[in-house]
């Protein structure tokens, strides 16, 4: 994985010093909260319901075991013994003191980590495919391109005060595991007809209160123009994105209002101008970055089958692994969705264990998934039983990847100052209900996503089943949505009708899954059945 | 009644105006009537509190109960982690918030 | 025609040796009608590129930041420098110490903040960054260039 050189380290250290000084000026009263807020947000520090919250960047979701250990240590030393893995592959801590924040950033810098631009109206941490460098179906490892763009976007002088936040995802496979087209910029690293590698740019996607699927803006950007083209996309947005209304300030609104074609034309014009400005790093920089993401020393001639004598192991191994490009290896998913648990939460002890297992079984590397789970990307198939036993002992072996128990849920009203309703209790009740009735595996792949407000951090628009918490005259109310997908078959979910109270929404989820089971044809997922039969039968079952 | 709340500037913890000082417990909150803006401005300027704001509450036998669920959650802590709330030994506390 | 300009005394920080412009600073609208003006102010949302045909007659461009969170002025500044503008580029309005370093990178070489800045804080702010990741409108050598020569 990527390692800092003296320049990267100096920049992160400088940021720590800058924030330490800014925090001190705030504590001394030389900065008002209005002035300090954008500064602390650009260092990932929010003021939430109960305390300050710190969001730490995990660039493209990749962590070494030393970094995972450091995240656990921060949970113990500065927080209350746990952290929360987020839908943008980051981690956040819920109980942070302002007076500790600079010390935490300093601890992070020691393991080449930071909280730079994890909030604020700037380019956020860049996300990627959690199976990058491991998956059998990828063209190239997308992370070197994400790292190139990470450096370009860090402290970018022109783009620190954009109209709104700006999220970029980079993938390189036909299978989309990063919700690429639901980002402000989604980049797919592709090969053109001439056999050259380049980048397809999708611009103007997003969730939030006005969900949009990003249109293709340019089919192929050569690798030696990647930064320049990105800069052109951002400059057009910075100049013309709306600033009169916070809810219309994202780039999706600009692209939608201009039309994709006109936006693309303006970007081309700016791009042509910027090509003369000498802002593109040489290809040698990309070549410098690439070896950090080279394959680890995979062994040849490994067995491709594990000892399958334990039926519980078989269930886990079949559900929680992904085919690997190297024979004899697999990517193993550690579920942070125990039945009745809090999606994405991990204790310091669990983080230490996952770090240790990454070292022992996965070439010292793990990944954060946008679904709030952890991946050990390169595990020998023959090691799976031993790995599984250790995970099971720590309550980390829920065999439920991509099932109805593998719920994405934002922190909701239990933690978040923006939320209108609690998300976590709803997810707990749904996973308990389906687990208790033994329905989970019968339902197959079923992505259920819950947001506690319209900002959609819980990706409800992209759920096969989505749930949106709203405030109905001071009480929590939940809308049900069906038919979304964040994957390569991307679609936006539609609301079924009137909302439900908390017990009602759990019943409603059961009602629509019952209908699916009754209606499904050979091999259909919930989503496929919904797409075939449409909304009407589901409405009838819910409200009829 | 109108009560005043905010977060401590240094630690971020939720605090309530008790008439003299900032308390961790909503039970200690006092009715500030039309003094809310003046107290908030004075206390924020002195950096004894961060982003204070006034809310409506009703007086109950257990003390003031904030009108909005968000402030009731703030007053208690996360309902999904009762061990981390101000009432870790009161299993019914979460229900009362809702 | 109104002189919108900040007075010379309001220019707190300046990285130029030439004399302050003593002509009236006009709005973009007035500039379009008044061919002999040599100082102009850009508001957020106005197109800096409209000035490009006239850059050889302009000695001062003020870029107004009515609120510090409106970042359009950063693009305006870079666009003018990219077009070869060598005159004074002055940030005026809600200019705060924590934005000075990035403003410098975008080509600003004078600052007239509404509220004067603490001199020690200014010094600290301008000395924050040992390196720069990107090429911008200043003469900084980007890190990728340091790495590859």
Distance from CA of C19 to the nearest CA of A (A): 28
- The answer to whether A103 and A53 have CB atoms below 8 angstroms apart is no
Mean pLDDT of the region A473-479: 94
Q: What is the CATH number of the domain that holds C50?
A: 3.40.50
Q: Cβ contacts (< 8 Å) between A415 and chain B: which residues? A: 78
CATH number of the A134-289 domain: 3.30.413.10
ipTM, two decimals: 0.96
pLDDT at residue C1 tops 70: no
Domain count for chain C: 1
Task: For chain A, give the percent of residues with pLDDT over 90.
Answer: 99
CB-CB neighbours of C14 under 10 Å? 15
Mean pLDDT of all residues belonging to chain B: 95
| A96 chain-B contacts, CB cut-off 8 A | 12
The yes-or-no answer to whether A134-289 and A311-393 have a common fold is no
The pLDDT assigned to A536 comes to 98
Looking at every residue in chain A, the average pLDDT score rounds to 97
The Cα-based distances of C70 to A362, A468, C106, C138 in angstroms read 46, 32, 15, 21
pLDDT value of position A141: 98
Closest residue on chain C to A23 (Cα): C98
Which bin fits A535, alpha (ψ -120 to 50), beta or left (φ > 0)?
A: alpha
Interface of A with B in 367-426 (CB under 8 A): 413-415, 417, 419, 422, 424-425
Instruction: For domain A6-110, give its CATH number from 3.90.480.20, 3.40.50.720, 3.30.390.10, 3.40.50.1000.
Output: 3.90.480.20
- The share of chain C scoring above pLDDT 90, in percent, equals 86
Which CATH number applies to A311-393? 3.30.70.3340
Average pLDDT value for residue range B11-31: 97
If pLDDT is split at 50, 70 and 90, which confidence band does C2 have?
A: low
- pLDDT score at A101: 98
Cα dist. A233→A160, A227, A230 in Å? 15, 10, 5
Tokens of A69: 């250990």
Question: Is A27 an interface residue toward B (CB < 8 Å)?
Answer: yes
What's the first-to-final CA gap in chain B, in angstroms?
20
Domain ranges of chain A: 6-110, 134-289, 311-393, 408-543
| pLDDT tens, position by position, A74-131 | 999 999 999 999 999 999 999 999 999 999 999 999 999 999 999 999 999 999 999 9
CB count, 10 Å around CB of C145?
15
Which residue in chain B is spatially nearest to A501 when comparing CA positions?
A: B98
DSSP lists the bridge partners of residue A53 as A46
pLDDT, tens digit, for every residue of A399-440?
999 999 999 999 999 999 999 999 999 999 999 999 999 999
Residues A381-398 pLDDT 10s: 999 999 999 999 999 999
In words, the CATH class of domain A408-543 is: alpha beta
Strands A168-171 and A127-128: parallel
A282 contacts C144? CB cut-off 8 A: yes
Q: Which domain holds residue C77?
A: 3-148
Helix, strand, coil % over all residues of chain A, rounded to 5? 40, 20, 40
Question: Least CB-CB distance to C136: which of A18, A22, A157?
Answer: A157
- DSSP characters for chain C? ----PPPGGG--EE---SPPP-SPPEEHHHHHH-TT--EEEEPTTS-GGGGGGGGGG-SEEEEEESSTT-THHHHHHHHHHHTT--SEEEEEES--GGGHHHHHHTT--EEEESSPPPHHHHHHHHT--S--SS--SSSPPPHHHHHH-
Q: A313 to each of A302, A376, A386, A390, how far by Cα in Å?
A: 20, 17, 10, 12
Which helix (DSSP H) or strand (DSSP E) does residue A99 occupy?
A: helix A98-110
Query: In the complex, which subunits touch C with 3 or more CB pairs below 8 angstroms?
Result: A
């Amino acid at each position: 994985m990527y390692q800092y050189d003296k320049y990267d380290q100096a920049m992160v250290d400088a940021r720590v010093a800058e924030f330490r000084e800014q925090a001190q000026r705030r504590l001394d009263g030389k900065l008002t909260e209005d002035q300090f807020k954008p500064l602390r947000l650009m260092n990932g520090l929010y003021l939430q319901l109960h305390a300050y919250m710190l969001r730490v960047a995990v660039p493209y979701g990749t962590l070494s075991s030393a970094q995972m250990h450091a995240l656990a240590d921060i949970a113990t030393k500065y927080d209350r013994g746990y952290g929360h893995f987020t839908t943008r592959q980051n981690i956040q801590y819920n109980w942070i003191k302002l007076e500790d924040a600079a010390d935490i950033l300093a601890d992070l810098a020691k393991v080449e980590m930071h909280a730079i631009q994890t909030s604020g109206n700037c380019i956020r941490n860049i996300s990627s495919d959690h199976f990058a460098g491991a998956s059998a179906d990828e063209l190239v490892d997308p992370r070197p391109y994400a790292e190139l763009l990470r450096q370009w976007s860090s402290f970018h002088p022109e783009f620190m005060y954009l109209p709104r936040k700006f999220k970029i995802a980079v993938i390189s496979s036909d299978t989309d595991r990063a919700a690429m087209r639901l980002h402000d910029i989604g980049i797919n690293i592709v090969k053109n007809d001439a056999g050259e590698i380049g980048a397809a740019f999708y611009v103007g996607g997003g969730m939030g209160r006005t969900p949009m699927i990003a249109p293709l803006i340019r089919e192929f950007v050569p690798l030696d123009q990647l930064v320049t083209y990105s800069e052109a996309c951002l400059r057009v947005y910075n100049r013309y994105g709306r600033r009169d209304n916070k809810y219309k300030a994202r780039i999706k609104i600009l692209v939608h209002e201009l039309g994709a074609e006109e936006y693309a034309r303006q970007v081309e014009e700016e791009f042509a101008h910027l090509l003369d400005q000498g802002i593109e790093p040489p290809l040698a920089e990309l070549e410098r970055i690439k070896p950090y993401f080279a394959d680890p020393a995979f062994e040849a001639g490994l067995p491709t089958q594990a000892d399958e004598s334990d039926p519980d192991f078989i269930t886990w191994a079949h559900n929680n692994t992904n085919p690997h490009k190297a024979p004899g290896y697999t990517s193993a998913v550690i579920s942070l969705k125990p039945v009745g648990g809090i999606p994405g939460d991990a204790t310091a002890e669990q983080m230490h264990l996952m770090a240790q297992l990454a070292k022992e079984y996965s070439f010292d590397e793990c990944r954060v998934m946008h679904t709030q789970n952890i991946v050990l990307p390169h595990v020998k198939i023959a090691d799976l039983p031993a790995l599984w036993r250790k995970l099971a002992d720590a309550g980390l072996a829920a065999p439920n990847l991509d099932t109805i128990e593998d719920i994405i849920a934002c922190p909701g009203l239990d933690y978040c100052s923006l939320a209108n309703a609690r998300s976590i209790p709803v997810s707990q009740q749904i996973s308990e209900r389906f687990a208790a009735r033994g329905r989970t595996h019968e339902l197959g792949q079923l992505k259920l996503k819950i947001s506690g407000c319209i900002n959609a951090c819980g990706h409800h628009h992209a759920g096969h089943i989505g749930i949106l918490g709203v405030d109905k005259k001071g009480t929590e109310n939940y809308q049900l949505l069906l038919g979304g997908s964040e994957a390569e078959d991307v679609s936006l979910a539609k609301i079924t009708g009137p909302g439900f109270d908390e017990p009602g929404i759990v019943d409603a989820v059961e009602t629509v899954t019952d209908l699916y089971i009754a209606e499904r044809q050979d091999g259909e997922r919930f989503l496929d059945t919904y797409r075939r039969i449409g909304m009407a039968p589901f409405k009838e079952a819910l409200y009829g | 009644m109108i009560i005043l709340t905010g977060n401590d500037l240094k630690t971020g913890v939720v605090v309530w105006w008790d008439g003299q000082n900032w308390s961790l417990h909503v039970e200690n909150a006092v009715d500030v009537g039309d003094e809310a803006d003046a107290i908030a401005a004075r206390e924020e300027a002195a950096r004894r509190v961060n982003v204070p704001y006034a809310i409506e509450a009703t007086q109950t036998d257990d003390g003031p109960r904030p009108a909005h669920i968000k402030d009731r959650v703030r007053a208690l802590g996360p309902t999904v982690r009762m061990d981390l709330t101000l009432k870790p030994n009161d299993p019914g506390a979460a229900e009362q918030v809702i | 025609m109104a002189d919108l300009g900040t007075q010379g005394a309001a220019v707190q920080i300046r990285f130029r040796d030439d004399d302050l412009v003593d002509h009236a600073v006009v709005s973009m609208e007035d500039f379009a009608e008044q061919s002999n003006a040599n100082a102009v102010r850009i508001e957020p949302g106005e197109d800096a590129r409209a000035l490009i045909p006239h850059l050889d007659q302009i000695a001062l461009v003020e870029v107004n930041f009515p609120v510090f969170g409106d970042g359009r002025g950063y693009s305006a500044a870079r666009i003018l420098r990219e077009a070869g503008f060598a005159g004074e580029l002055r940030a005026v309005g809600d200019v705060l110490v924590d934005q000075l370093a990035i403003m410098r990178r975008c080509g600003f070489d004078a600052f007239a903040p509404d509220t004067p800045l603490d001199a020690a804080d200014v010094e600290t702010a301008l000395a924050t960054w040992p390196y720069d990741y990107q090429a911008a409108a200043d003469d900084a050598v980007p890190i990728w260039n340091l790495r590859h020569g």
